[in-house]
Amino acid sequence: MMKTTRFARLAVPVAAAALLLGACSSDDPAEDSSDEPTSTTTEDAAPSAGGQVAGSVLRANWGGFPENWAPGAEMEAGYMRVPYENLTKLGDDRKPAPWLATSWEQTDEALTLELQPGVTFHDGTPFDAEAVKVNLELIKNTPGPYAGPFQVIDSIDAVNDLTVQINLSAPAPSLLTTLATRAAPMASPAAIADGSIAQTPVGTGPWAYDEAASIAGTRMTFGPFAEYWGDAPGFETVQLFAIEEDNAASTAMINGEIDVTDTELDQLSVFEEAGTFETIAYPGIRNNPMFFDRGPGGMFEELEVRQAACYAINTQVVADLDPDVTPVSQHFAEGEQGYNPAITGYEHDLEMAETLYSQAGSPAVEGDWLSTSFNNRQISVYAEQLGELGFNLTVQEAPPPQYFSEWNAGAYPIGLGSNDELTPYDWYQSWFAAEAPGNPAGVESDQLKAAADAAIAAGTSEEADDLWAEVTLIISEEALTCAHIQSQELIAVNTDTVSGAAAPSEPWETVLINFRDLRPAGS
């Protein structure tokens, strides 16, 4: 299964949880309306009860293992969700909900979290405010794609054992969401201190890593954690496997060697033939072109040129080539903050594109478009479509390392990337704010800035949703990006051995399943 491709897709992705809050400044602090603290609490933060089946083993294959299990290192949720838990999780409404933090209070200056009592890490270390401080500081200081959103943390105070105060240098309306993501699992401070966390995950989850029952590189076994603070899940043990090749994974499923695997569309017929398998599809990574050269004198400076490009691109062609892909009108899906039903996207219309381009004076649009192995075909299709409009974009294919270093660094007028920022705040800060790393031209319209400032000022209040929807609408109207597509993730489950499988509630994750809801079939 092309772990190469997956790896490559992911290197850019998720990151976002991300980006630099350094820019998070609301220009006028007086406008910040979130001085009024917002708070949440819940009585029951524990996972739902199930009744554990003694001796049951769930065998899941995600095609590899993380290189490093430390918080702040790149780690997909399919692995992380076995030993680790976060301070918050995303609820059904996609809003932060309690987990290891039972309640919180947020202002522009600080986020104060009350922690779940009676929680210990797998190595016996208590989970307390000091542990949270150690974890967040580690994530903030670890070079990597997740550190960005944590730069807004000025300092962390352990107020008492179960209260931690995160002092902010700027308003951070998406911090609670970021705390729910793969960016911020809580690991044992003792394991962090001695460095063993890189190879030996030590979290607070219901399954603890069992090195003796594992085979390096092949199988990681996580046995039941007797001191787990919440309800025990259905499976007593979880084993993770690293079968990278799709055919091999399908064969292992049919052979009964594994129960769950990440898979691809071309394997569906194999499972259909074999019978007792269920496949779960859910939206995964999304991508879209970005017009980088939109500064003064840039080839995409004119709105009409960008809009013309958007109308000229026909995402359906890509979808026809790759059934894994679905064209969508905007970056955020319905139900997510930032989604705006008024955004209809730019449906392919070459005539309209030509009219707009002509209105702009048909300026020369010539340059290179950097691609790599996993997106070369898509970019080539787009470049050809833009060629029909008169653009002369040459697709340059680079090895993945070069691509990741250069595609959005400002050397190319246009790029195609996976923007998997979970919140409109992070998306804006990553790509569209004047100081955003993904905005090498450094330009931003007054209208967009004003709208974003208002949304940031709204903090985590109810009105923030509408304000961020306004921001994403402006981004669409200004054609700063368009041609959004969404890929589909597929998970195959052996229904002879596993019941209760469903798509994960966490968006944007490429390999994941609802581990805690799963039960041995028939139990």
Partner 1 sequence: MGKLVLYRLGFAIPQLLVVSVVVFSLTYLVPGSPAAAILGVSATPESIALVEEQLGLNRPAGERLLEWFGGLVQGDLGTAYRSGLPVTEMLAQRIPATLSMILGGMVVAIVIGVGVGVYTGTRPGTKADRLLTGGTVLGIAIPEFWLGILLTTVFAAQLGWLPIIGWVPFTVDPWGWFVGLILPSLTLGITGGAIIARQTRASMVRALAAPYTDTLTAAGVPRWKILYQYGVKNAMVPVLASIGVVFAILIGVSFVIEKVFSFPGLGSLMLTSTIGQDFPVVQGVVLFTATLVIAVNLLIDILYGLINPQARPA
In order, the DSSP letters of 457-479 are: HTTTSTTHHHHHHHHHHHHHHTT
Contact stretch for partner 1 (CB under 8 A) within 123-131, 251-259, 307-315, 450-458: 251-259
If binding is defined by CB under 8 A, does position 254 make contact with partner 1?
Answer: yes
Choices 115-123, 203-211, 430-438, 461-469; region in contact with partner 1 by CB under 8 A: 430-438
Residue 365 token pair: 């649009």
Q: Is residue 277 within a helix (H) or strand (E), and if so which, with residue range?
A: strand 277-291
Angle between helices 303-312 and 350-359 (to 10 degrees): 160
- Is 445 a binding residue for partner 1 by CB under 8 A? The answer is no
* Residue 352 CB-density burial (10 A; 0-12 exposed, 13-18 middle, 19+ buried): middle
For partner 1, which residue of 9, 15, 135, 207 counts as binding (CB under 8 A)?
15
Give the shortest CB-66-to-partner 1 separation in angstroms: 9
CB-wise, 63 or 367, nearer to partner 1?
63
Supply the DSSP string of 344-370, one letter for each residue: ------HHHHHHHHHHTT----EEEEE
Residue 450 engages partner 1 in binding (rule: CB under 8 A): no
| Per-residue contact string for residues 342-381; x = within reach of partner 1 by CB under 8 A | ----------------------------------------
Q: Residues 39, 336, 279, CA angle at the centre, nearest 5°?
A: 120
Regarding 271 and contact with partner 1 (CB under 8 A), the answer is no
Whole-angstrom distance, CA of residue 340 vs CA of residue 346: 14
Residues 192-231 that bind partner 1 (CB under 8 A): 195, 198-199, 215-219
Q: What are phi and psi of 489, to 5 degrees?
A: -95, 140
Helix locations, 241-294, DSSP H = 246-254, 268-274
- CB closer to partner 1, 162 vs 511: 511
Cβ neighbours for 283, distance < 8 A, ≥ 6 positions apart:
326, 333, 486, 487, 488, 489, 507
User: Hey, which bits of 85-176 come out as E strands?
Assistant: 88-90, 96-98, 101-106, 110-115, 153-160, 163-168
- Hunting for tokens 């009024």 — which residue is that? 36
Alpha carbon distance 489, 324 (integer Å): 8
Q: Which is nearer to partner 1, 384 or 435 (CB)?
A: 435
Q: Which residue in the set 84, 225, 403, 428 belongs to the binding site for partner 1 (CB under 8 A)?
A: 403
Query: What span, in angstroms and rounded, lies between the C-alpha atoms of 363 and 189?
Result: 58
Q: Which is nearer to partner 1, 2 or 319 (CB)?
A: 2
Nearer to partner 1, 244 or 324 (CB): 244
| In the complex, least distance from residue 110 CB atom to partner 1, rounded to whole angstroms | 24
Stretch that binds partner 1, among 112-120, 240-248, 490-498, 513-521 (CB under 8 A): 240-248
> What three-state secondary structure class fits 471?
helix
Closest distance between partner 1 and the C-beta of residue 356, in Å?
29
Q: Does 322 bind partner 1 (CB under 8 A)?
A: no
Among 437, 459, 504, 520, binds partner 1 (CB under 8 A): 437
Contact window for partner 1 (CB under 8 A) among 40-48, 62-70, 173-181, 356-364: 62-70
What is d(CA 368, CA 162) in angstroms, rounded to the nearest whole number?
54
Q: DSSP 3-state assignment of 391?
A: coil
Site for partner 1 in 130-189 (CB under 8 A): 143-145, 147-148
**Structural tokens at position 60:** 């899941």
Q: How far apart are CA 237 and CA 220, in angstroms?
A: 11
Out of 53, 190, 248, 333, the only residue in the binding site for partner 1 (CB under 8 A) is 248
Q: How far apart are CA 391 and CA 357, in angstroms?
A: 10
Q: What totals of helices (H) and strands (E) does the chain contain, helices first?
A: 15, 20
Helix axes 350-359, 376-389, angle to 10 degrees: 60
Residue range at the interface with partner 1 (CB under 8 A); choices 11-19, 81-89, 99-107, 114-122: 11-19
Segment interacting with partner 1, rule: CB under 8 A, options 18-26, 117-125, 353-361, 387-395: 18-26
The only residue of 45, 58, 60, 73 in contact with partner 1, by rule CB under 8 A: 73
3 binds partner 1 (CB under 8 A): yes
Pick from 29, 51, 401, 442: which binds partner 1 (CB under 8 A)?
Answer: 401
Residue numbers at the binding site for partner 1 (CB under 8 A): 3-4, 7-8, 11-13, 15-16, 18-20, 64, 67-68, 70, 73-74, 143-145, 147-148, 195, 198-199, 215-219, 241-245, 247-248, 251-252, 254-255, 257-258, 398-406, 408-409, 417, 430, 437-438
